[in-house]
Amino acid sequence: MKFTILTLFPEMVMTGLNESIIGRAKEKGIIDIEAVNIRDYTEDKHKKVDDYPYGGGAGMVMQAQPIYDAHKAVTANMQGMVRTVYLTPQGKVFNQDMAAELAQADNLVLLCGHYEGVDERVLEEVVTDYVSIGDFVLTGGELPAMVMVDAISRMVPGVLTNEESGTTESFHNYLLEYPQYSRPEEWHGRKVPDVLLSGHHKNIEDWRLSQSIERTRERRPDLYKKYMNSERK
Ligand code: ADE
């Protein structure tokens, strides 16, 4: 799977995605991530990529031409399914199901806006999906793009080891993760729950499930409702 991030700040994006599990998957060639500087495609002789909004108002608007040309250049030789996501608080809110669905694409182009926005006309021509990472406003689409690359990559087969994926299925059935403990058995006077030291696998499994359910009910009543209505309970 290939991610192409169209941005004015390619270094910002790439620094965050060269580490840890995502960095390892890149090195192994399971995923490919490229950040392309939109500014490299401007036809303006001063390398300008934004201008004042028609109708007035605060801030600047990213112009259509550099974005369109950058998009055209990066998609020209793409094979398979291409989806182009514009990161915006006006989009559909990102979640685990969307991550799984987008992980089916062969190519994902992530367009990061900045300033007050992007000329609507280029969005109409290139964007297939509008995605928000939550109901808050950030200064640009770079952090949301990184969030999406991370969450989608871990759904791509081979990115997580068996061990890693086994421990992180929880969100799928609407339950939060159960609490985890490691050595020592007692720390600051707090003991690890006895059942976890018992070696009794069935009891441990039951305990973890009941912790997950209780935790979800307390912390995320919205998810708990979905869990109670789901088939898997
Ligand atoms: N750009 C600015 N804020 C955003 C958000 N919450 N989600 C996605 N893109 C954004």
Quick one: pLDDT at residue 233?
58
Average pLDDT value for residue range 5-33: 96
136 lines ligand 1 (CB under 6 A): yes
111 lines ligand 1 (CB under 6 A): no
> Which protein residue has the closest C-alpha to ligand 1 atom 6?
89
Q: Name the pairing type of β-strands 117-118 and 61-62.
A: parallel
> What are the DSSP calls for 156-224, one per residue?
STTSS-HHHHHTT-GGGGT-PPPP---S-SEETTEEPPHHHHS--HHHHHHHHHHHHHHHHHHH-HHHH
pLDDT band at 173 (very low <50, low <70, confident <90, very high): confident
- pTM, 2 dp: 0.93
The tens digit of pLDDT for each residue in 76-115 reads 999 999 999 999 999 999 999 999 999 999 999 999 998 7
pLDDT band at 116 (very low <50, low <70, confident <90, very high): confident
Pocket test for ligand 1, best of 7, 9, 13, 87 (most atoms within 8 A of CB): 87
Quick one: pLDDT at residue 170?
57
In this model, does residue 169 exceed pLDDT 60?
A: no
- Name the percent of the chain lying above pLDDT 70: 96
Least confident of 78-87, 110-119, 189-198, 204-213: 110-119
137 lines ligand 1 (CB under 6 A): yes
> Which protein residue has the closest C-alpha to ligand 1 atom 2?
138
As to burial, measured by CB atoms within 10 angstroms (0-12 exposed, 13-18 middle, 19+ buried), residue 87 is buried
Quick one: pLDDT at residue 104?
95
From 119, 110, 126, select the one nearest 72 (Cα to Cα).
Answer: 126
List the beta bridge partners of residue 33: 3
In this model, does residue 61 exceed pLDDT 90?
A: yes
The tens digit of pLDDT for each residue in 25-53 reads 999 999 999 999 999 999 999 999 999 99
Domains and CATH numbers, the chain: 2-153 (3.40.1280.10), 168-232 (1.10.1270.20)
138 lines ligand 1 (CB under 6 A): yes
Average pLDDT, the chain: 95
Pocket test for ligand 1, best of 137, 142, 146 (most atoms within 8 A of CB): 137
Contact 55, 118 (CB under 8 A): no
